[in-house]
Chain A
Amino acid sequence: MEWEAVIGLEIHTQLATKSKIFSGASTAYGAEPNTQACAVDLGLPGVLPVLNEEAVRMAVLFGLAIEAEVAPYSVFARKNYFYPDLPKGYQISQFELPIVGLGHLDIDVDGVKKRVGVTRAHLEEDAGKSLHEDFHGLTGIDLNRAGTPLLEIVSEPDMRSAKEAVAYMRKLHELVRYLGICDGNMQEGSFRCDANVSVRPKGQQAFGTRAEIKNINSFRFVEKAINYEIERQIDLIESGGEVVQETRLYDADKDQTRSMRSKEEANDYRYFPDPDLLPVVVDEAFKAQVKATMPELPDTKKQRFKDQYGLDDESTAILTSSRPLADYFEAVVKESACEARICANWVTGDLSAALNRSGLEITDSPVSHERLAGLLARISDNTISGKIAKQVFEEMWQGTASADEIIEAKGLKQITDTGAIEAIIDKIIANNPEQVEQYRSGKDKVFGFFVGQVMKEMQGKANPGEVNKMLKDKLK
């Protein structure tokens, strides 16, 4: 039988607010345990939550970006369960009335476009962390993360393969970073994924029983976990078994999922509206205010890069993969007055390679867009050749000098004096009669040899266009 997988994702994005969702404590990552937890985060007797407006703004921005219904009235609810890293014994979340309703995200898998529905997105607070190592059989609790704002984004069960799921997840990852509402750092848990997976005979309408795989923290693991789970479910059904509704954990070391708890063991969270918080009212004026801050979104930017700069799909994809990189590129184009394709080649080529070697992000690049533009400007005005430029770039990467300073200091200026070039060409033609003969008898390939000889003699400083032109004349 042919099977079809049905996948829906729940993605927890940590919102990049400075303070927590219901307290003034800092959200910075990596502090000493329990140093960033105030009375409210600790759940002391008598404390009360106060909503951080910035978290609401970010949720609304997201809602508008996926063309969703932003609820004019949403409600925080208490989700009740006991766990040592959940200080109040309940998590403040949204249940019946989330802040973001139905929206969508368009994905592209192997050139095929697909629209994935977003069921809802709701605001909630994160829990703390239980630390099981270093405590000799005991458990330590770190409440620094308790109260960090999360936007839980729930998709429709619209994906049919692990590949689609990963494409959706990447698209979402790109979007939240574009919006500046999440740093997207998966290692630090800023972007976490739960996957709901089921299978059904192809053509069947009804969904199969689903399993939920919890807390998968990389794109690669999401793909592997889903593929494993699809296989597991198909094997189970084909061997006469039945899929049970349960929560499973993905074990990356063994590359398999294992059962965590079944539906029967599932908690009854006893949700009810949190009486400590007023309903969140988002009016048209607030929405308009947020909308005015909407950055250009990835899809729009991609199309514009192709139209405006004539870039191919590959360069476009790289350059628009993050807002800082796209901004960097556009700044270089503007400041260098150099051809966009050349700028793109430099940013996606030499610059990206250098960044990768050093493990740096574009925002930390030692060569700023002004400096790179200064270099590319010298290519476009023929002061130096592309080849010399690579040499200048390496110097720039190591130090702080501008391209002009390096060109000047090292005497790398292109020789445009035709007399000087002509003298060298004459000399090379005279010294290589054999090759001249070959060229003149129709062996065009030998032309490259002459160019190389001239450039070598002139230490790369000759204008290649000029050299080509003059060589062709002389060799006629």
Chain B
Amino acid sequence: MHNKSITDLAKGLRSGEFSSVELTQAFLDRIKRHSSLNCYITVTEDLALQEAKAADDRIAKGDATLLTGIPIAQKDIFCTQGVKTTCGSKMLDNFIAPYNATVVEKFNQAGSVMLGKLNMDEFAMGSSNETSYYGAVRNPWDHNAIPGGSSGGSAAAVAAGLAVCATGTDTGGSIRQPASHCGITGLKPTYGRVSRYGMIAYASSLDQGGPMARSAEDAAIMLQVMAGFDERDSTSVDLPVPDYRAELNNSIEGLKIGLPKEFFGAGLNSEVAAVIEAAVNEYRKLGAHIKEVSMPNLKLAIPAYYVIASAECSANLSRFDGVRYGYRCANPEDLTDLYTRSRGEGFGKEVKRRILMGTYALSAGYYDAYYIKAQKVRRLISDDFKKALSEVDVIMGPVAPSAAFRIGEKIGNPIEMYLSDIYTIAINLAGLPAMSIPAGVVGGKPVGLQIIGNYFAEHRLLNIAHQYQQVTDWHQQSPKGFE
């Protein structure tokens, strides 16, 4: 059951082949059996079974949606009322959210069942899931490899069949890179497509929630629920939400694909390059035209990102001060002691590093040289994409320079870790939608193809991904032991 698509599961639930309670129990059992992967921070067993029971009633009444009774899991960055919401941090180890994030509320309304809260890099800062206070997540394809980050728990859980699908968030690649490393389908929507309300902020101008699933079709079903304007989020965009499944089967004959030459430079592992070329070839067979495009400013994306994201996070994380909720140090002597020790003890190393970088970049005398300059670079990068997307329909390339690296391999070298996001970060700076779909295997580990589309062209991306998944089976492969 754990490898089935959402539509198949929905059929099974409706036909009475199995109940949501049975389905949910099966997933809960798998979660227990594979707890060594460390995908979940919190498993909400009782709540899940309650929700499953309610879903069964709803299905019986005949007012079910496709997601009613489907066991999913939430990245622990989304606030869930009455359930611990940690954001992967000691700082929020004791935080029971008193409200639901809009995304969570929408899944609740659709009647899906929440299995629990998924592990992640602390405050979504990391590319390997190693910065989590709750320990690293293991990649189900290789237990010594990282699953990617920051939505590492989400990607690993979906790949291992510990949830039908999961939410993720993507600030610099945090949906796409773990999706690539775990062999699943992940979509980062256009900035503003999915409400950020209740999604704990890392870098507000870059953060975007999105679906992580076994296929483009499943991702389309999830996005249908997640997308839409939210009056509680001023940056969410008030545009109609199209039917994301309506165009899945459209032909992509004549599709114009751009390949940025900057995506295929020296840093790219040759075996990964071969996987991408093969995937592009597959598209050629489907009738697509391939064209080389150029993004001259791409090399500036990482420094610009780390200035902007760090600057925003330095303010976003100020609320974690030990005063109202979250971690508070023992026996503070005075206010300064309360602040410095609560934050010093509550935050991990990478979070502190980024807060310090951001604080520095915003300081008097440095603001223009860093923050303003980075904003200008951001504009240049957006312009590069706009220009390229005026020539082609979508841009394709790798998601990451290599397949998943070993746990511990890069954690001691932040710069090297940052560079692993080279192909994903620029897309967040531009605010564009992008996907990662499984396209091959290198050294026994999956490799994803990245597809980048124009603003609000999620339906197009899903169509393009789905067409590929109709002629390939990379997305159907499961890691050993999880078949």
Contact = CB atoms under 8 A, between A and B. Distances in A.
B197 A46 contact: yes
A420 interface: no
Interface in A30-79: 39, 42-51, 78
B428 interface: no
Nearest to A79: B315
A90 B315 CA distance: 7
Contact of A45 (B79, B231, B359, B362): B79
A46 B204 contact: no
B119 to A, nearest CB: 17
B323 interface: yes
B92 interface: yes
A51 B235 CA distance: 11
Contacts of A111: none
B198 A51 contact: no
Q: Determine the interface band of chain A, counting residues with CB < 8 A from chain B.
A: 20 to 34
B339 interface: yes
A245 B305 CA distance: 38
Nearest to B207: A275
Considering residues A45, A47, A271, which has the most beta carbons from chain B within 10 angstroms of its beta carbon?
A45
A452 interface: no
A49 B339 CA distance: 24
Contact of B319 (A48, A89, A270, A275): A89
A228 interface: no
Given A50-B234, A84-B323, A87-B319, A45 B85 contact: yes
B201 A268 contact: no
Interface in A263-286: 268, 270-272, 275-278
Given A87-B324, A275-B235, A82 B79 contact: no
Interface string A413-424: 000000000000
Interface string A274-308: 01111000000000000000000000000000000
A141 interface: yes
A88 B78 CA distance: 18
B364 interface: yes
Q: Determine the interface band of chain B, counting residues with CB < 8 A from chain A.
A: 35 or more
Interface stretch (B96-104, B258-266, B345-353): B96-104
Interface in B194-243: 196-201, 203-205, 231-235
A453 interface: no
A45 B311 contact: no
B234 A277 contact: yes
B322 to A, nearest CB: 10
A80 B359 CA distance: 10
Interface string B66-102: 0000000000001100000101000010010111010
Nearest to A269: B364
A82 B321 contact: yes
Given A270-B363, A275-B204, A39 B98 contact: yes
A51 B79 CA distance: 22
Contacts of A44: 79, 97-99, 325
A78 B315 contact: yes
Contacts of B315: 78, 80, 88-90, 270, 272
A279 to B, nearest CB: 10
Nearest to A78: B315
Contacts of B339: 82
B470 interface: no
Contacts of B121: none
Given A45-B87, A278-B234, A89 B198 contact: no
Contact of A46 (B198, B231, B321, B364): B198
A45 B95 contact: yes
B130 interface: no
Given A90-B318, A272-B371, A42 B234 contact: no
B312 A82 contact: no
A84 B318 CA distance: 11
B92 A45 contact: yes
A45 to B, nearest CB: 4
Given A51-B234, A87-B319, A90-B318, A272 B324 contact: no
A275 B320 CA distance: 19
B79 A278 contact: no
Interface in B269-319: 311-312, 314-315, 317-319
A48 B98 contact: no
A428 to B, nearest CB: 82
A268 B235 contact: no
Contacts of A47: 197-198
Contacts of B320: 45
A278 B324 contact: no
A72 B323 CA distance: 39
What 10 A-B pairs have minimum CB-CB distances, sorted nearest first? A89-B318, A275-B205, A270-B362, A275-B204, A46-B198, A43-B319, A45-B200, A46-B79, A46-B200, A268-B364
Interface of B: 78-79, 85, 87, 92, 95, 97-99, 101, 196-201, 203-205, 231-235, 311-312, 314-315, 317-321, 323-325, 335, 339, 359, 362-364, 367, 371
20 contacts: A39-B98, A43-B319, A44-B97, A44-B325, A45-B92, A45-B200, A46-B78, A46-B101, A48-B232, A50-B232, A80-B318, A84-B335, A87-B324, A89-B315, A89-B318, A90-B318, A141-B323, A270-B315, A270-B362, A272-B311
